[in-house]
Amino acid sequence: MKKRLAYICFATALLAGCSNEEQAETLPQGMGRIAVRCGADLTVDTRATALPAGDDFSLSLSGDDYAESWATVAEFAAEERLFPAGTYTATIAWGDPEAEGPDLPYFLGTVTTPVLARRVNTIEIEARIANSQTRVMATEQFLRYFHDAEFTVTTGAGNSFDYTPAAGRDAEPVFVQAGTTLTVTGTARQQSQTGQTEGPLVTFPAQRLDAAQPRTCHTFLFDAPDAGSATLTIYLGGEEAEIVDIDLEMNDDAIE
């Protein structure tokens, strides 16, 4: 699986925790500062063109009797405020977790770390893709037996995405909510027996995946191992998860 690393605003390995930076002796007793360094790690090739830079993430901090958020890390950095020593949870995010469609990745990262008094405490956070992807493809064998294939993936949120498989072309995945259901339906025409007509229209019964996994591309791959048969293989990322034998439904008014 191809790995791409988005812009990281720090060069060293990502570690979550409190750094032993210079002692800030001028800070009040029991108080410390927090600096945030963050970036996005793409362990999946999302093909997304919109990617966040470190200062673009939203930020929230919570601790004992404390909770606050900022629209961007840049806004937080500009404040230079003091924080009581204690344990804090920092969360960064970018994108909309409920948005579905092309080029709509959602990134999320969180760490819990101590903040020491009279220190500048640097919290380093890695954000990972937290939503899911889906697509429909067909093998060349399938396309030899069927033509004019049209498929639709419908999510639990009610959004639908259409696919027209073609030989030698990978379908672009779309982003969907993590945890949503994915239902694939479609039709195609079998090859004509006479060569004089379009061939009978086939409706593929709906196939449903109960919950899309985060950071995973869910690929519905249609195949036709033999004439007049069809199978659906569901891939989660690059791993085969399930093979379904499909009972073809012939439309009565379309049979030669």
Helix or strand holding residue 241 (H, E): strand 239-246
Q: H/E/C letters for each residue in 1-62?
A: CCCEEEEECCCCCCCCCCCCCCECCCCCCCEEEEEEEEEEEECCCCCCCCCCCHHHCEEEEE
Rounded Cα gap, residues 115 and 160, in angstroms:
46
Torsion sign over Cα 100, 102, 103, 108: positive
Residue 106 sits in which domain range? 4-129
- pLDDT for residue 7 is more than 70: no
Any residues with CB less than 8 A from the CB of 44 and at least 6 apart, and which? 1, 129, 133, 215, 216, 217, 237
How confident is the model at residue 54, as a pLDDT? 87
- Same domain, yes or no: 66 and 20: yes
> CB 49: neighbour CB atoms within 10 A?
8
- Same domain, yes or no: 67 and 166: no
Asked whether the beta carbons of 84 and 53 are under 8 A apart, the reply is no
- Same domain, yes or no: 211 and 235: yes
More confident residue, 78 or 255: 78
How confident is the model at residue 44, as a pLDDT? 59
Tens of pLDDT, residues 204-240: 999 999 999 999 999 999 999 987 789 999 999 989 9
> CB 226: neighbour CB atoms within 10 A?
9
- Same domain, yes or no: 79 and 49: yes
Asked whether the beta carbons of 113 and 16 are under 8 A apart, the reply is yes
Last residue of one domain, picked from the residues 129, 162, 190: 129
How confident is the model at residue 22, as a pLDDT? 47
- Provide the β-strand partners of residue 187: 150, 203
The answer to whether the pTM exceeds 0.85 is no
- Same domain, yes or no: 231 and 151: yes
Of 167, 162, 106, 107, give the one whose Cα is nearest residue 134: 162
Tens of pLDDT, residues 102-143: 999 999 999 999 999 999 999 999 999 999 999 999 999 999
Map tokens 């030899």 to a residue.
Answer: 144
How confident is the model at residue 8, as a pLDDT? 32
How confident is the model at residue 49, as a pLDDT? 72
Last residue of one domain, picked from the residues 94, 129, 164: 129
Last residue of one domain, picked from the residues 85, 105, 129: 129
Q: Report the chain's mean pLDDT, rounded to a whole number.
A: 86
- pLDDT for residue 23 is more than 90: no
Any residues with CB less than 8 A from the CB of 97 and at least 6 apart, and which? 106, 108, 130, 131, 177, 178
Q: How far is CA 162 from CA 30, 40, 137, 181, in A?
A: 58, 29, 11, 16
- Same domain, yes or no: 22 and 85: yes
How confident is the model at residue 28, as a pLDDT? 85
How confident is the model at residue 247, as a pLDDT? 84
Asked whether the beta carbons of 36 and 73 are under 8 A apart, the reply is yes
Q: Can you list the alpha helix ranges (DSSP code H) found in 91-206?
A: 140-145
Helix or strand holding residue 159 (H, E): none
Residue 136 sits at φ, ψ, to 5 deg, of -125, 135
Q: What is the tally of structural domains in the chain? A: 2
More confident residue, 13 or 22: 22
Position 170 confidence tier, pLDDT thresholds 50, 70, 90: confident
How confident is the model at residue 168, as a pLDDT? 76
- Same domain, yes or no: 20 and 57: yes
- Same domain, yes or no: 14 and 65: yes
Residue 179, domain CATH: 2.60.40
What does DSSP assign to residue 55? G
Position 3 confidence tier, pLDDT thresholds 50, 70, 90: very low
How confident is the model at residue 194, as a pLDDT? 67
The residue type found at 202 is V
- pLDDT for residue 164 is more than 90: yes
- Same domain, yes or no: 107 and 214: no
- Same domain, yes or no: 103 and 125: yes
- Same domain, yes or no: 187 and 247: yes
- pLDDT for residue 65 is more than 70: yes
- Same domain, yes or no: 169 and 100: no
Rounded Cα gap, residues 189 and 182, in angstroms:
24
How confident is the model at residue 27, as a pLDDT? 80
More confident residue, 199 or 252: 199
The residue type found at 55 is D
